[in-house]
Chain A
């Protein structure tokens, strides 16, 4: 569905270098700290900025050459942009009805009502949470095959976030669909994504299936003596702490079996981000 190969973009000292793929039937998460390059990846994939090298292809077509017809199959929610705030939900429905042949007007309005979005109120008067919900509903209401969602759950409370995630899971029930999503809320990605890419300072530093990430990775907490004696072959990152060392590994079971005395914590995506950025790689 989406293939980004060797994509490069330079802004002064910043350089993006990205390769990732969103296959059909998969939900792919893009994680990373603020300013890592997530939005730049999204904008390159959508043809909004021109890469300095490499290529992003949607449905097998270079992003900058996508025709209006192919764009119909791409639903987008951007964190810093959306429909004009001077329009109301009904206005956007009228507009999308003409732009998308497969726009489901009835379903769109029903979903807006289900999420308590007023149909005649200007979008700029919506709360942050309402705007986030509206962006996702708009993206899934016109027969898109690929969703590109930049921080779609930002500003939502727990209940609203779960509702949005349910919408995305419902979207994936049909075949031939895929999602590329970024979020700062790691629990959203843990429960939703099939695989995760991590980006830091413009570089993809990590790519893993979510079930492996949650099942086989771990953070080890060891003192100086334990660290000195342990097998370091499977340590991906190490960080000095007051008590000794914190280590990230992709072979949790190995350390559980061979080093019963050390603390092995099941990690989440937040731990992964922290260790990948703050920790040091062992040569």
Chain B
């Protein structure tokens, strides 16, 4: 797996200038107070995640996967590496962005206390990976992008249509959250969310592995 991770890091590194430009813009927005701390952390995490996912496009470009799977790389290992890379990049970006946000505010004393909320943000970002990786692997870079947009569009439409019932459900959820907080403490709910995300991540990885096993190159 290390060989694949090195390949992907070098692919991402070769796009370094664009990444730095993005970071400068986002950091600038945060510094002039058009973006709050959570938004800043979420945006940077999402960016880290996107760079990890972009490596799938590089691999599939010009039939690259044909050659890739002649190397000592199994399809399962390839899929696992993409999920690990998405975790590494989004988590690294999340924690670094949190640290940068505190640093810009000039008070690092709350960094560790805020880490849990950063991790919650990161868990939300991971949901994009677990939806997008199987789609990219199934449909390839170009079609995958279209299908991803379509899927997110459907999600948004469903969200809009179900906004009424969801509002009622949310009221019930607040009660549930309060009860959970009382029984599990302050860390209970974040840990539960992280566990649910981890389970969804594992299911997504199994689906992706199944997709790759079936694919021909």
- A interface with B by C-beta (< 8 Å): 43, 46-50, 67-69, 71-72, 74, 76, 78, 80-87, 91, 94-100, 122, 148
> Which of A67, A71, A78 contacts B66 (CB under 8 A)?
A78
Contacts of B62 in A (CB 8 A): 80-81, 85
Task: Select one of B3, B64, B70 contacting A98, CB under 8 A.
Answer: B3
A48-B3 contact, Cβ under 8 Å, with A68-B77, A81-B64, A87-B10: no
Check B61–A81 contact: CB distance below 8 A: no
Question: Which of A91, A99, A148 contacts B71, CB < 8 Å?
Answer: A99
Q: Quick check: A49 and B58 within 8 Å, CB to CB?
A: no
B7 proximity list for chain A (CB < 8 A): 84, 87, 91, 95
Q: List 24 A-B contacts (CB under 8 A).
A: A47-B69, A48-B69, A50-B216, A68-B73, A68-B74, A71-B70, A71-B73, A78-B66, A78-B67, A81-B64, A81-B66, A81-B67, A82-B67, A84-B58, A84-B61, A85-B62, A86-B11, A86-B14, A86-B15, A86-B58, A91-B11, A95-B7, A99-B4, A148-B70
Give the CA-CA distance A76 to B73 in the complex, in Å: 13
Q: Is B217 in the interface zone, CB < 8 Å from A?
A: yes
| Chain A residue contacts of B217, Cβ below 8 A | 43, 48-49
Q: Does B63 contact A (CB under 8 A)?
A: yes
Asked if B6 CB lies within 8 Å of chain A CBs, one says yes
CB contacts (< 8 Å) of A100 on chain B: these are 72
Assuming A84-B64, A87-B11, is B2 touching A49 (CB within 8 A)? no
Q: Which 10 A-B pairs have the closest CB atoms?
A: A98-B3, A99-B3, A68-B72, A81-B66, A76-B70, A81-B67, A91-B10, A71-B72, A48-B217, A49-B216
Partner of A46, one of B61, B65, B70, B73: B70
Chain B interface mostly helix, strand, loop or mixed?
A: helix
Q: In the complex, A49 Cα to B69 Cα: how many Å?
A: 11
Indicate if B102 sits at the interface (CB-CB under 8 A): no
Q: Provide the residues of chain A in CB contact with B4, threshold 8 Å.
A: 95, 99
Residues of A within 8 A of B15 (CB): 86
Contact check, A72 vs B67: say whether CB atoms are below 8 A apart: no
Identity of the chain B residue whose Cβ is nearest the Cβ of A68 in the assembled complex: B72
Query: B-side interface residues toward A, CB under 8 Å?
Result: 2-4, 6-7, 10-11, 14-15, 58-59, 61-67, 69-74, 77, 216-217
Least CB distance from A55 to B in Å reads 16
Residue of B nearest to A46 (CB): B70
Pair B3/A80 contact, Cβ less than 8 Å:
no
- Chain B contacts for A48, CB-based, 8 A: 66, 69-70, 216-217
Contact A76 B67 (CB under 8 A): yes
Are A94 and B10 neighbours in the complex by a CB distance under 8 Å? yes
C-alpha gap A146/B37 in the complex (Å): 56
Known pairs A76-B67, A78-B67, A81-B62; A95 contacts B216 (CB<8 A) = no
Output the nearest chain B residue to A84 by Cβ-Cβ distance.
B58
In the complex, the answer to whether B3 meets A95 with C-beta atoms within 8 Å is: yes
Chain B residues whose CB sits within 8 angstroms of the CB of A46 once the complex forms: 69-70
Which chain B residue has the least Cβ–Cβ distance from A48? Answer: B217
Inter-chain contact A72/B64, CB cutoff 8 Å = no
Beyond known contacts A74-B70, A82-B64: 15 more, CB 8 A cutoff: A43-B217, A48-B217, A49-B216, A50-B216, A68-B74, A72-B72, A81-B62, A83-B64, A83-B67, A86-B15, A87-B14, A91-B14, A96-B3, A98-B2, A100-B72
Q: With a CB–CB cut-off of 8 A, which chain B residues contact A81?
A: 62-67
